Amino acid sequence: MKILRSVSEVREELAGYRNKTVGLVPTMGYFHDGHLSLMRQARAECDVVVVSLFVNPTQFGVGEDYDKYPRDEKRDAELAGEVGVDYIFAPPVEEMYSEGFGTFVEPSQELSNKMCGVSRPGHFRGVATVVTKLLNIVQPDKAYFGQKDAQQLVIIKSIVRDLNIPVEIVGMPIVRERDGLAMSSRNTYLSKQERKQALALYETLCLGKKLIAQGSRDASALKKQLVANLSRKPGVEIDYLEIVRAEDLKPVERLGGKILLAGAIRVGDTRLIDNMILEV
């Protein structure tokens, strides 16, 4: 496995593989089993696997955790090598955003100005820009993203469609801890007590799944039940809890088809997200 630092290195290394299938796994590093599941899938489906490792400053807002976001390149490289990754692209910030950089990709406001986009203004512009850059740099046949970032996944699919980028976007299931907590690099911020409190969102999503299985179909009534349940959980501040159509994040009045239950909470100083896709 090679670690590449520059765009020119990536293009030079991949030039000989244009008759091969190239898979890209974009990440911000500090790998856990969720990241590794994406890499394993890419390894199973592609001839060449590239993992980007870049904590992207443009998707962090003022006062967010860019500076303290966990980083351990040596550990990440060892884990990636163990699952068969061919290349890690780990550029410095100035390689991705050179002096005078001023071009950004604006995602659909209909998709981005809701849910995570409300409390993190500008976040999805940063995501859209860096993902578009990575797709242009690597030019993969397939790119792999986790379902935990459900809104991000919908937005990336829309960008690829709207900008005619020739890549298949592959969404992969959420990987959870044994108790159900969705794996996240930010879980490392949690104290022992906060770790227990963080389960509140997953437990609330499970309640929603149960109520739907029992016949609940009124989206507004169900949302009120779930918000009330989450509000009773100690140590939890609700950012949002939404019930929308899974494919385009549009609101629903009566549940039917494929729906997304999604939420975000704060436990202490840590913001966590989770979701479930349900067929009704």
Q: Which residues are catalytic?
A: 35
Check: CB of residue 33 under 8 Å from CB of residue 175: yes
Q: Which of 257, 255, 226, 254 is closest to 240 using CA atoms?
A: 226
Cα 144 to Cα 23, 40, 45, 184, 262: the distances in Å are 8, 10, 11, 16, 20
In the three-class reduction of DSSP (H, G, I as helix; E, B as strand; rest coil), residue 271 is classed as strand
CA distance linking residue 102 with residue 114, whole number of Å: 25
Cα 123 to Cα 145, 171, 275: the distances in Å are 17, 20, 19
